[in-house]
Amino acid sequence: MKHLFKALAEFQQEVPVIHKATQGYGYTYADLPKIFEVINPLLKKHGLGFTQLINGTQIATCLFHVESAESIESKIDIPQGVILKGMNEFQVLGSAITYLRRYALSSMLGLVTDKDTDASGEQVKHEPKKATIDNARFQKAIDAISKGEYTVEELTTKFSLTEAQLKLIKV
């Protein structure tokens, strides 16, 4: 395996970060054609190749060293019974296969397909989304506060309140 691992390490030293340029529904990702555009010349340069075969309900990604025939393989299950709005079962399957191929290959090759915010120390704090409270429930909460069952702080921490509801609390 020394030929394969040496070539893979050299490949990883040269392959750049592959930026997410394809727009999905509320997210971006690096699509397979973009990944191939970046990696194929470098794979060739380092004597590496890969296959991604579908075997039953799995995708097997095999990375090989062309000269020595050394190889490593990784398998991932294709989820079954998934239903996506507006897609028939074949479209869902095609989408799943493409998605899994992209991530299996990225994992196998050690690709970075976006900025690594963990490594750079850049932290994004995600506040849990507060539930909204309708006026009927709000009135019940106010009654509970007056009985000492709730504090105002508990109410405002737990729920997203409207301006009108906030004014009622402050009175």
Q: Are 20 and 85 in the same domain?
A: yes
pLDDT at position 159 is 67
Contact between 60 and 77 under an 8 Å Cβ cutoff? The reply is no
Contact between 7 and 47 under an 8 Å Cβ cutoff? The reply is yes
pLDDT at position 51 is 97
Residue ranges of the chain whose pLDDT lies below 70: 20-29, 114-133, 150, 155-159, 170-171
Q: How many domains does the chain have?
A: 2
Helices 89-109 and 2-14: crossing angle in degrees, nearest 10, is 100
pLDDT at position 108 is 95
DSSP state letter for 101: H
Domain that holds residue 148: 131-170
- CA 167 to each of CA 42, 157, 170, 171: distance values in angstroms, whole numbers, following the listed order: 63, 16, 5, 6
pLDDT at position 116 is 47
pLDDT at position 31 is 80
C-alpha dihedral, 108 to 113 to 114 to 116, nearest 10°: 10
Q: Are 30 and 98 in the same domain?
A: yes
Q: Are 85 and 47 in the same domain?
A: yes
Alpha helix segments (H runs only) across the chain: 2-14, 32-45, 89-109, 135-146, 152-158, 163-170
Collapsing DSSP to helix, strand or coil, 110 comes out as coil
Q: Are 31 and 98 in the same domain?
A: yes
Kindly state whether residue 63 falls inside one of the protein's structural domains: yes
Q: Are 14 and 87 in the same domain?
A: yes
Q: Are 101 and 135 in the same domain?
A: no
Report the candidate in 133, 127, 122, 120 with the shortest Cα–Cα distance to residue 164.
133
The contacts of residue 117 (CB under 8 Å, 6+ apart) are 123, 124
Per the listing, tokens 């009985």 go with: 147
Q: Are 9 and 70 in the same domain?
A: yes
Contact between 76 and 42 under an 8 Å Cβ cutoff? The reply is no
Q: Are 24 and 105 in the same domain?
A: yes
| CA 11/CA 109 separation, integer angstroms | 8
